[in-house]
């Protein structure tokens, strides 16, 4: 008998069952950030992400650009929750332990952290046995209780919107040069949406995740997806590394959202609708839905 293939979602569900959560954990594993309620006016957000050489960037990428990607992809997770980033911790494993490379990396990190008002409060360094880099960042943030956005908060009839363009992120350099949608998320959170996530593993995969978390299906309109230069419709749906926002908007807020959208450099795109159905199912695709986004187990 052939075993069912492992994927990231099923493995995370297995791990979540191993770790019972304390009473102050409002949201545990499974969203863009964990959410802690420490009894303060704002909720605490926490997330961790990493970049690996020859996976998330190519050889020859400058240490400063690598540092920027590492921090910004974590900032994008905070944005998806409707929050504001505040603090970060670094963990680096590299080979060789080159002082020049490390200094340039940390200078780049300091510049991006200052741009977003983030305090880098500590970290750790170690030497890898093989050449390369494995770089991890833990980010903390905060969000007002009435602005918290979760993947699970979409409702039947809500419209799926997205910021920006999709596809060809790696080859175009967008995966290094992107700007996290913090300002846009703060505008949206609590007023136009309470269901949001960022797109890192692919538009199709991440939209399906939101639908599944909300117990809904999704009617997608792929022809509405704006393509980054050099992208195909399929690459826009499956490649990932876009770091844009997906969010659910009640239909009665559609006109006001589009009227008040005041981000001329950030396209606003209607992509489909959440509907009753098999949780996580997506209809309207121009290809087999088994072609999804990035999965670490494949």
pLDDT tens across 159-208, in order?
Answer: 999 999 999 999 999 999 999 999 999 999 999 999 999 999 999 999 99
CA distances from 103 to 108, 122, 139 (A): 8, 15, 21
Q: HSE, CB side, 13 Å, CA atoms: give it for residue 97.
A: 7
Both 142 and 153 in one domain: the answer is: no
Residue 5 lies in a domain: no
Residue 26 in domain: no
Q: Which domain holds residue 142?
A: 33-146
Task: Determine the pLDDT at residue 298.
Answer: 57
**How does strand 282-283 pair with strand 217-220?**
parallel
- In this structure, are 44 and 138 located in the same domain? yes
Q: Is the peptide bond before 96 cis (omega within 30 degrees of 0)?
A: yes
Alpha-carbon distances of 38 from 24, 45, 153, 191, rounded to whole Å: 6, 11, 22, 24
pLDDT at 252 > cutoff 60: yes
Question: Do 199 and 223 lie in a common domain?
Answer: yes
Question: Are 197 and 116 in the same domain?
Answer: no
Q: Tens of pLDDT along 41-80?
A: 999 999 999 999 999 999 999 999 999 999 999 999 999 9
Q: Does residue 93 fall inside a structural domain? A: yes
Give the pLDDT band of residue 297 (cuts 50, 70, 90). very low
Q: Is residue 15 in some structural domain?
A: no
Please report whether residue 295 resides in a domain.
Answer: no
Please state, in angstroms and rounded to a whole number, the distance separating the CA atoms of residues 281 and 208: 7
Residue 11 pLDDT class (50, 70, 90 cuts): confident
Are residues 117 and 227 both part of a single domain? no
63 belongs to a structural domain: yes
CATH number at residue 214: 3.90.650.10
Looking at the fold, whether 162 and 279 belong to one and the same domain comes out as yes
Structural domain contains residue 233: yes
Instruction: Say what the pLDDT of residue 275 is.
Output: 98
| CA distance linking residue 76 with residue 83, whole number of Å | 10
47 is a domain residue: yes
Query: Looking at the 3D structure of the chain, how many domains does it have?
Result: 2
Residue 40: CB atoms within 10 A of its CB come to 9
């Amino acid at each position: 008998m052939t075993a069912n293939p492992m994927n990231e979602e099923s493995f995370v569900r297995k791990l979540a069952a191993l770790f019972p959560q304390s009473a102050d954990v409002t949201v545990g594993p499974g969203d863009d950030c964990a959410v802690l309620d420490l009894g303060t006016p704002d909720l605490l957000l926490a997330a961790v992400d990493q970049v690996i050489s020859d996976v998330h960037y190519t050889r020859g990428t400058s240490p400063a650009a690598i540092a920027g990607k590492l921090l910004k992809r974590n900032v994008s997770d905070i944005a998806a929750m409707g929050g504001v980033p505040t603090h970060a911790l670094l963990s680096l494993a590299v080979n060789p332990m080159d002082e020049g490379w490390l200094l340039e990396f940390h200078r780049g990190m300091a510049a991006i952290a200052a741009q977003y008002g983030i305090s880098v409060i500590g970290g750790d360094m170690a030497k890898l046995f093989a050449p390369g880099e494995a770089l991890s960042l833990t980010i903390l943030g905060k969000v007002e209780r009435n602005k918290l956005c979760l993947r699970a908060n979409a409702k039947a009839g809500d419209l799926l919107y997205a910021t920006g363009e999709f596809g060809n992120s790696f080859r175009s350099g967008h995966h290094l040069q992107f700007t996290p949608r913090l300002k846009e998320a703060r505008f949206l959170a609590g007023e136009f949406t309470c269901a949001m996530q960022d797109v890192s593993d692919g538009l199709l995969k991440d939209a399906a995740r939101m639908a599944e978390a909300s117990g809904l299906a999704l009617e997608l309109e792929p022809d509405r997806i704006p393509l980054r230069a050099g992208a195909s419709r399929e690459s826009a749906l499956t490649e990932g590394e876009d770091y844009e926002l997906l969010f659910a908007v009640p239909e009665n807020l559609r006109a006001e959202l589009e009227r008040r959208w005041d981000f001329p450099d950030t396209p606003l795109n209607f992509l489909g609708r959440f509907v009753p159905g098999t949780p996580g199912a997506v209809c309207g695709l121009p290809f087999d839905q088994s072609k999804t986004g990035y999965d670490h187990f494949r």
